[in-house]
């Protein structure tokens, strides 16, 4: 049996430090690396990233959409990336942001959170905005297989506040998401496997994370403007469970493997030294 995700994440962060590197092979980045915008270029990009980060960084976060845009051959590259990253010892957080209901959500859970699926990752991102309860199939599958689920709570896109910061029954919608995740994580040690996604550049935090007892993925660190100082201000006492994520800030150092790895390690070490949390 695989250990619960919260325990596995805590262990790998303890050894490798607190950083998630996003793998976002968008057309502009492929071009910058001198690679064609086709499945062959995608494969070279993906395997370069595994070589650079897989043995040193705690969590690797491929963005599924950039693989899906190449059709079945792109998805095949994603499958190989997931397997190679796992073999190198990093956790794979697959950024899919799925959100659906009933049998369709169960099918997504089968695809991404169930042993035997070639797309199964260590954790995935999901959207709760069809109702937090609609995600139950993903939570159940993740719990049974020792995997994690990161639920969107506060995102940095300009359209988000109209939904996420709206107030219903005296709480922001985002706070209802936080509270529901906190209930599922209650009593789990060292931390629960239901995480949240809170953008590093959201500016302020209209939610209380004190009871979450789970990880917080903070995308937007680095090139998108999020700084260690921002994170200290934003998360306060919850900083110990925050997993900063950087994509462009690290990937722009490519395609040289040594340069990529050096930039990732520099970023990781800056986080550790500035926050005091390994």
Single out the catalytic residue among 61, 73, 97, 144.
Answer: 97
Buried b (16+ CB within 10 A) or exposed e, 126-156: bbbeeebebbbbbbebbbebbbbbbbbbbbb
Any idea which residue has 């991102």 for tokens?
125
Let me know if 97 is a catalytic residue: yes
Name the phi and psi angles at 205, rounded to 5.
-120, 95
Cα–Cα distance for residue pair 187/190, rounded to 1 Å: 9
How many other CB atoms are found less than 10 A from the CB of residue 225?
12
Cα–Cα distance for residue pair 116/120, rounded to 1 Å: 7
Query: Which of the residues are catalytic?
Result: 97
């Amino acid at each position: 049996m695989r250990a619960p995700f919260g325990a596995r994440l805590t262990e790998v962060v303890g050894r490798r430090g607190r950083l998630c590197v996003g793998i976002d092979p968008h057309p502009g980045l492929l071009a910058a690396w001198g690679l064609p915008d086709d499945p062959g270029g995608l494969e070279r990009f993906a395997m370069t990233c595994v070589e650079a980060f897989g043995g040193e960084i705690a969590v690797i976060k491929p963005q599924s959409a950039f693989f899906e845009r190449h059709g079945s051959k792109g998805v095949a590259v994603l499958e190989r990336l997931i397997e190679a990253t796992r073999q190198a010892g990093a956790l794979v957080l697959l950024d899919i942001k799925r959100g659906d209901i009933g049998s369709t959500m169960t099918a997504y859970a089968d695809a991404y959170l169930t042993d035997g699926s070639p797309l199964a990752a260590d954790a995935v991102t999901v959207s709760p905005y069809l109702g937090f309860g609609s995600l139950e199939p993903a939570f159940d599958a993740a719990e049974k297989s020792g995997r994690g689920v990161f639920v969107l709570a506060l995102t940095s896109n300009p359209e988000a506040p109209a939904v996420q910061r709206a107030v219903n029954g005296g709480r922001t919608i985002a706070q209802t998401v936080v509270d529901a995740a906190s209930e599922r994580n209650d009593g789990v040690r060292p931390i629960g496997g239901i995480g949240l996604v809170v953008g590093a550049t959201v500016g302020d935090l209209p939610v209380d994370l004190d009871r979450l007892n789970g990880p917080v993925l903070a995308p937007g660190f680095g090139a998108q403007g999020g700084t260690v100082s921002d994170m200290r201000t934003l998360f306060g006492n919850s900083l110990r469970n925050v997993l900063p994520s950087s994509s462009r800030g690290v990937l722009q150092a490519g395609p040289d493997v040594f340069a990529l790895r050096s930039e990732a390690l520099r970023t990781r070490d800056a986080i550790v030294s500035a926050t005091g949390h390994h």
